[in-house]
Amino acid sequence: MQVFYDKNSFTEYIKSQKHQHKTIGFAPTMGALHAGHISLYQEAKKDNDIVVSSIFVNPTQFNNPEDLEKYPRTMEDDIRKLEDSNLVDAVYIPSIEDIYPNGMERQHYDFGGIENEMEGAARPGHFDGVGTVVEELFLQVQPDNAYFGEKDFQQLKIIEKLVEVSNLKIKIHGVKIHREENGLAMSSRNMRLSEIEKETSALIYKTLKKVNDWFKVISVPEIKSRVEEIFDRDDMELEYFLIADEETLKEVDFFSEDKDFRTFIVVNVGNVRLIDNLHLD
């Protein structure tokens, strides 16, 4: 595996791969790698000649400076995990200047409204920051295919819109959520949970599965009040829970046969913000 710490050498590498007509599968990350990231590379390996990843903690997508500061940074460990996976051909670890040569500005995007729902409402500017960094990485990596986890389902939808509005010829692939044995969705943030918190956080996925059982049997307001009751406890704080149309990501308060629905949840455990979702079937 080749490791690139600057844009110039990385650009030369990409040029030579393109020259050899190699197809490129790309999975961007912010590091603190876990089995969920490895599953992105496994998917990428199936469809492409080479697999490229990046590690860059992107300041412009954090609306909360404390969250940015606390974001886990485990570079040596990450590089070892990438090597051990035997799935990744090259990893790009750019500097701030490689991504933001003209200063750390977010671009403003119109993603047709999905950017204002859920995480967009809770974290103003977040998706402009994600769009800015992912568009720049796409321009530098020039992938044929790019892979994103469904844990950040709204982000996945935003990236699908990004390639549409920016006219990029990249196929976006969503990859199923990778879970701990107890059901907790894998996330870099889980590193900040104590063992007890990890155990209690299993309640999040358990609840989403219950919602799937209740789906179409009881009304949405009734489901919401049951979920609020479940999280009426001292060791967790329910930030939001909702059921949304999977296409528009708009919250619904009743179901219809002709649409797909997904349930979304954010729970704060200590000072760790955990996010999860589940397609309802």
Q: Which residues bind ligand PAF (CB under 6 A)?
A: 28-30, 58, 61, 130, 133-134, 152, 155
- Is 37 labeled as catalytic in the residue annotation? yes
Minimum distance from residue 137 beta carbon to ligand PAF (Å): 8
Q: Which of 279, 53, 25, 49 is nearest to 157 (CA)?
A: 279
Tokens of 203: 């309640």
For tokens 């829970």, the residue is 241
Question: In angstroms, what is the minimal distance from the CB of 49 to ligand PAF?
Answer: 22
* Angle at alpha carbon of residue 88, lines to 25 and 3, rounded to 5°: 110
Minimum CB separation of residue 226 from ligand PAF in Å reads: 30
* Token representation of residue 138: 């796409």
Cβ contact 160:172 at 8 Å: yes
Catalytic residue among 37, 108, 126, 178: 37
Q: How far is the CB of 27 from ligand PAF (least distance, A)?
A: 8
CA angle 131, 137, 184 (to 5 degrees): 65
Residue 4 vs 261, nearer CB to ligand PAF: 4
**How far apart are alpha carbons 264 and 118 in whole angstroms?**
9
CB of 209 to ligand PAF, least distance (A): 24
Task: Report the run of H or E that residue 41 belongs to, with start and end.
Answer: helix 35-47
78: tokens are: 């990450």
Residue owning tokens 């949840």: 265
Handedness of CA 52, 57, 58, 64 (dihedral sign): positive
Residue 191, helix vs strand vs coil: helix
Catalytically annotated residues: 37
